[in-house]
Chains A and B, each alone.
Chain A
């Protein structure tokens, strides 16, 4: 087989693996996340304000700031803004969820992340989901 053909095959396989991994992550996220109707969704989140953003570890700050700006959003949407891998952003967003700065909920097959602020903002998906 030609060397260049082999490289194409390797790239194809890698892309396939990547998309499979993304699906696995999606499924895992769905298992761990509450639906917006769940009581747990409303449990205490810490308000994410500018001073809190400043005190976050460097790797989480950009993710949190982007979510604050455009949220509610999926890991994919955040990754497109920050030009990082979806899996990386998904990991950061879940860290922020564990730190109680961010909430996640699912709508159909998609998992959305949001801050307290985006819950309040009037035209947000979160609000639609609450109805």
Chain B
């Protein structure tokens, strides 16, 4: 069965993309056919991280110019995973982002319909897991991604504003759309390994990842879950992966 997981947050820079990339690679390494879609259309990351310029972008798909299959780029060989790792990139060109910001509700509604169909299309391709990286907060595209997913992982840092806004998202979006959701605490400064809370705002806290200075440095050149599985960050990723597997 194909499962769709959106990685979202109320505030920016909480670690969504880092977690999404490492999780996708972890799933593919274990032999699951995985697809990672960059729905952060306003601040794309994946094409820079994987250093690729695709023939078709996810933007083209959402506008009805190509199929989802046309946007997929298999990174299986590059990351040497046993499962496929399909990347669907968002276009970082500023004219594309300017165009997107001007899109109306009708475009967003047809983009939602298209995203809902992605699961059906990729299920036919026997994809096991679809991960969607999003923009923070109530951006249209992010809420579309949430609506098209089965599970939402909300990544948050330890600030009051982020906490407050996460609660708002849980009660005002995820619950209303009948989603399963869980919290990931990232960049924790307290000794989080000893103080793990089980839940917050009715959501399970499935990982508490400490703030570690080597993560941003090393992530520029490596995907930690591949190069250093014993790293605390990688271990947390595997914990999250385990939780998702249990949800299936």
Say whether A68 faces chain B, with CB atoms less than 8 Å apart: yes
Decide: A53 and B147 in contact? CB cutoff 8 A: yes
Say whether A36 faces chain B, with CB atoms less than 8 Å apart: no
Rounded to whole Å, the gap between the CB of A116 and the closest CB of chain B is 7
| Interface of B, helix, strand, loop or mixed by DSSP | helix
| Interface of A, helix, strand, loop or mixed by DSSP | helix
Contact with B along A36-72 (1 / 0, CB 8 A): 0000000000011111111000100110010011000
Say whether A131 faces chain B, with CB atoms less than 8 Å apart: no
Decide: A47 and B177 in contact? CB cutoff 8 A: no
Q: In chain B, residues 117-166, which have Cβ atoms closer than 8 Å to a Cβ of chain A?
A: 140, 143-144, 147
In the complex the two chains form, what is the Cα distance from A52 to B106 in whole Å? 12
Q: How many residues in A have their beta carbons less than 8 Å from beta carbons of B?
A: 20
Contact of A49 among B109, B172, B178 (CB under 8 A): B109
With known contacts A47-B106, A68-B112, A116-B106, A53–B140 Cβ distance under 8 A: no
Q: Which residues of A contact B176 (CB under 8 A)?
A: 54, 58, 61
Q: Nearest B residue to A118 by beta-carbon distance?
A: B113
Decide: A51 and B140 in contact? CB cutoff 8 A: yes
Contact of A47 among B105, B143, B172, B173 (CB under 8 A): B105
User: For chains A and B in complex, what number of residue pairs have CB atoms within 8 angstroms?
Assistant: 48
With known contacts A50-B147, A53-B147, A62–B109 Cβ distance under 8 A: no
Interface centre among B106, B143, B176 (most CB of A within 10 A): B176
Q: Nearest B residue to A49 by beta-carbon distance?
A: B109
Decide: A69 and B116 in contact? CB cutoff 8 A: yes
Say whether A77 faces chain B, with CB atoms less than 8 Å apart: no
Say whether A95 faces chain B, with CB atoms less than 8 Å apart: no
Q: Which residues of A contact B112 (CB under 8 A)?
A: 49-50, 68, 117
- A residues sitting closer than 8 Å to B (CB atoms) are 47-54, 58, 61-62, 65, 68-69, 115-118, 120-121
Q: List 5 A-B contacts (CB under 8 A).
A: A49-B109, A50-B144, A54-B143, A54-B172, A61-B176
A-B contact sample (8 more), CB < 8 A, given A49-B108, A50-B108, A65-B178: A47-B106, A49-B112, A50-B109, A54-B143, A61-B177, A62-B178, A118-B113, A121-B113
Question: Which 7 residue pairs across A and B have the least CB separation, nearest first?
Answer: A49-B109, A117-B113, A49-B105, A47-B105, A50-B143, A50-B147, A47-B106
